[in-house]
Structure 1
Amino acid sequence: MKTSIVLSLALLASAAFSATNDEIITHFKNQIPLSHIQIKVLSRQQISKDLDYVSLHITDGQNNQNISIFTHGDYIFPDAIDLKTGMSIKDKMQRVQINKNIAKVFKAEDPKYIISIGHDPQKETLVIFSDPECPFCKKELDGIENDLKKYNIKMIFTPVHDRSSLAKSYLIYKYIKDAKTDAQKIKIIRKYFESGANEQVNNSNVQKIDTLRQKYFQAGINGTPYKVMEKDLQ
């Protein structure tokens, strides 16, 4: 969006004003040199007694951008850091929102696209969004046996790479449905993580995986592996 640089400058210059929703909107409109800009407050959440987290939607009619800020008294800030943990509160809040978005998609997902490994009712379930050509996902897969000592695992393939990774994901789904054990499922997944897809996959089947991943990209996933506890998707 063309106004992104302007927004960054507006955020860095914390402005003194009474931070009602209307005044936050007015502040940003004054900072963006476009007469047709529209700004809407999507949500406002109190983080502590003195700090609010505000999410905004900005559009010029063609381009759209969501941003989040913090407000304290007459000031706004682009982020806030928890000194006890050293973590960005914005990152934490944005992840909570992404998980809410993912939950809506996950609850309606076709079961054939959710690979379940481990079925211990005493364990929590970890959901992993993965990509057969992602080196970080391969490293994650290398430790899956250890992870299964702590969690049940559900995997969904949402490749960030293109056609060859989509084809591998399709083939994993194609053959894993006949696996009888967790060990067989892991063997099939590893096969396509460690080598190319020797079997041809037509464009129609590649498109099925592309449609699958786009749903989760739109929910906010922008990289793999993305991990979330299933209880946080309820």
Structure 2
Amino acid sequence: MSLMWKLLATTLLLSSLAYAQSASDNVSDFLEDQFSSNERLKSVDVKIDSVVPVKEVKGWNAYIVDVKAVLKQRPKKTINQKMIWFSNGDVITKDLVDLKSGQNLLEVVKPQFKDAYYRPENLIYGNKDAEHKIVIFSDPLCPFCKGFVPGALQNLKKEPNKFAVYYYHFPLLRLHPASGTLVKAAVAAELQGVKNVILRLYTVKVNPREKDVNKILAAFNKVEGTNITVADINSEAVKKQTKNDVDVARDLMVAGTPTVYLDGKIDNTKKKYLKVK
């Protein structure tokens, strides 16, 4: 659970129950009023990023909301998070489930991958003008990523005019603290012109809970044949790139790894690229 949700859980039940909406019929005002009642928050700002009609449920819209909050105990830190809320104009709810399919409609209305997110520094294989674009958010120490990403990249790199492959680092630091250093090392190596860094990254042998930076870098350099140093991973260029990747993930509400997009739309199966003719 994110810090934002922990803070807001004291004032809003995070369930599929519906809530009466404010008389103003304004979702952002209603949410801001509710969140502001949390005594731990110094300030809260709620803005609606976009409104998506829910085709599966007549009369309902999904509101993709940007929330910025400042803690009273940490006034210099701003918490930014995207949320999705559903409303039909009379009630508002966090979850909406299709009774026929059992599908949580949150997955249907999540933000699409914007053209602005296709950054040159994230293109690891293929031609940027390829017929299809595939995006992968991944943590190199995630067991599910290890079972999917290397094989997928091996397949995708064979068809550079068919697939442009964009890779975004999304280390799950609470689960795998070591991935933070590995990701920075990978970015530093790429900035130095080293090729195929990402594929080899998944073969680095290190304890996911390891926090000794020197041990992690030694394991990375052994596999990659590099000499990445602590100074390298702390450079402004590396910090900027890793932050950009995490920012894109946050904007898209990426919650786990691996997360895959094909031609701008999330692919929960992660296999649609295999069916592209």
TM-score (norm 2): 0.59
Q: 2: distance between equivalents of 1:152 and 1:80? A: 34
Range with greater deviation from structure 2 (24-33 or 161-170) = 24-33
Q: 2: distance between equivalents of 1:8 and 1:229? A: 35
Q: 2: distance between equivalents of 1:171 and 1:84? A: 49
Identify which of 28, 50, 53 aligns with 2:62. 53
CA change 1:204–1:12 in 2 (3 A) is same
The within-5 A match list for 1:187-206 is: 189-195=198-204, 196=219, 197-198=221-222, 199-206=226-233
CA change 1:137–1:38 in 2 (3 A) is closer
The within-5 A match list for 1:54-73 is: 54-62=63-71, 63-64=78-79, 65-73=81-89
- 1:44 counterpart = 2:44: no
Identify which of 116, 123, 147 aligns with 1:114. 123
Contact 1:172 1:192 in 2 (8 A): no
Q: Who is 2:116 aligned against?
A: 104
Identify which of 169, 172, 197 aligns with 1:158. 169
Contact 2:64 2:84 in 1 (8 A): yes
Cα offset for 1:51? Answer: 0.6
After superposition, give the CA deviation of every residue in 1:136-169 in whole Å (9 maximum; x if it has no partner). Answer: 3322213444456786251425151211342144
Contact 1:105 1:215 in 2 (8 A): no
- 1:224 counterpart = 2:257: yes
CA change 1:191–1:216 in 2 (3 A) is closer
Contact 1:37 1:61 in 2 (8 A): yes
After superposition, give the CA deviation of every residue in 1:5-53 in whole Å (9 maximum; x if it has no partner). Answer: 1343286653334775437624762575258754544143332431122
Q: Who is 2:93 aligned against?
A: 77
- 1:93 counterpart = 2:98: no
Q: Who is 2:194 aligned against?
A: 175
> Percent of aligned positions with the same letter in both sequences?
19
Task: State the SS of the aligned residue for 2:141.
Answer: coil
Task: State the SS of the aligned residue for 1:88.
Answer: coil
After superposition, give the CA deviation of every residue in 1:55-82 in whole Å (9 maximum; x if it has no partner). Answer: 3444554554543211125222211123
- 1:16 counterpart = 2:17: no
CA change 1:60–1:67 in 2 (3 A) is same
Range with greater deviation from structure 2 (132-141 or 111-120) = 111-120
What is the RMSD computed on CA atoms of the aligned residues? 3.8
For structure 2, list consecutive stretches of 5 or more residues without a partner in the other structure: 72-77, 172-178, 205-218, 267-277
Higher relative contact order (CA 8 A, sep 6+): 1
Contact 1:10 1:28 in 2 (8 A): no
Q: 1: distance between equivalents of 2:65 and 2:201? A: 41
Tell me which amino acid in the other structure corresponds to 1:78.
K
